[in-house]
């Protein structure tokens, strides 16, 4: 999948910004399965003060230290990361997961 096809509705600056973050996540997380944009940016309802919400789905749990490092690094740039394993995401029926499944935009997926 070409990433630009999934986020073509975003401004060029935001696309470039997201591509940088996707590259960072794909390099640091070995068991990465999906990166999904959700929230106001995915719905096209973002404002100047909106943060970027990203769901990171991995094959197995991501180490706590790595999660903390990534969250801290990206939080400074107004990016919030949520981590789920693929099994957790597939089996969950909570409102959050239902919303992501309904309106989330897949930015990256493992081949």
Tell me which CATH homologous superfamily contains domain 2-109: Beta Polymerase, domain 2 (3.30.460.10)
Asked if 33 contacts 110 with a C-beta cutoff of 8 angstroms, the reply is yes
Q: What residue segments make up the domains of the chain, in order of their start? A: 2-109
**Where residue 5 falls among pLDDT bands split at 50, 70, 90?**
low
User: What is the tens place of the pLDDT at every residue in 9-55?
Assistant: 788 888 899 999 999 999 999 999 999 999 999 998 999 899 999 99
Question: How big, in percent rounded to 5, are the helix, strand and coil portions of the chain?
Answer: 45, 25, 30
pTM: 0.91
User: What is the tens place of the pLDDT at every residue in 51-93?
Assistant: 999 999 999 999 999 999 999 999 989 999 999 999 999 999 9
């Amino acid at each position: 999948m070409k990433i630009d096809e999934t986020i073509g509705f975003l401004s060029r600056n935001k696309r470039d910004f997201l591509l940088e973050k996707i590259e960072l996540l794909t390099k640091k997380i070995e068991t990465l399965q999906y990166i999904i944009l959700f929230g106001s940016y995915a719905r096209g309802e973002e404002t100047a003060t909106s943060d970027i919400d990203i769901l990171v789905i991995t094959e197995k749990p991501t180490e706590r230290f790595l999660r903390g490092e990534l969250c801290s690094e990206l939080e400074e740039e107004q990016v919030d990361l949520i981590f789920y394993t693929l099994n957790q995401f597939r089996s969950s029926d909570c409102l959050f997961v239902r919303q992501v499944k309904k309106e989330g935009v897949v930015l990256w997926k493992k081949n």
